[in-house]
Amino acid sequence: MEIKEVSTTSVLVEQLNSLLTDCIESGASVGFLTPVDEEEVKLYWLSVESDLKSGARKLFLAYENENVVGAVQLSLCSKPNGSHRGEVEKLMVHTGSRGKGVSRKLMSLMESVACELGLSLLILDTRLGDIASSLYRSIGYTEAGQIPQFARSSTGELEGTVYFFKLL
């Protein structure tokens, strides 16, 4: 498995579409509802491409046999008083690659780059009760609080979210 930062989505757009669609269809709370709207998924990756070009976002991918099997993003705060922090977004692992440590490896590289950028605080949120909470706790994130009925699940039901932070 190879984990690396990439600066563009354009050459991998089909694989990224496939990864995001797999995660949505498997119930991941990544901001999209089922049934998957393919046009919405394509537009999402175009917006990520724009953020990568402007320097507002970093994208990290996991590869197995040259296929994208995982991703995580680091959104950089553009506010002058928040230049020390970043938000971890859309940690995704393809259903066929789960349980192999992909998430840990993606988070490790993302955190290393965050440190290199001079960030001292990372924040993230995940669905209340999601298995991802265990991962985040195990790699040093602290729960900051919960909000009920925060977002709709991929099936449209209102679910709570948990906020985490990590001081680097």
pLDDT digits (tens, 9 = 90+) for 34-63: 999 999 999 999 999 999 999 999 999 999
Question: Quick check: 5 and 109 in contact, CB under 8 A?
Answer: yes
Q: What is the pLDDT of residues 143-162, one digit of tens each?
A: 999 999 999 998 899 999 99
CATH code, domain carrying 103: 3.40.630.30
How big is the chain, counted in residues? 168
Q: What is the pLDDT of residues 62-98, one digit of tens each?
A: 999 999 999 999 999 999 999 999 999 999 999 999 9
- Indicate the number of domains in the chain: 1
Residue 66 counted as domain residue: yes
Instruction: List the structure tokens of 120.
Output: 């001292």
Residues near 51 by Cβ (< 8 Å), separated by ≥ 6? 57, 75
The residue written with tokens 């797999």 in the block is: 22
Residue 49 counted as domain residue: yes
Instruction: Give the pLDDT score at 3.
Output: 98
Residue 86 counted as domain residue: yes
Residue 142 counted as domain residue: no
Residue 129 counted as domain residue: no
116 is in which domain, residue-wise?
A: 2-120
Instruction: Give the pLDDT score at 76.
Output: 98
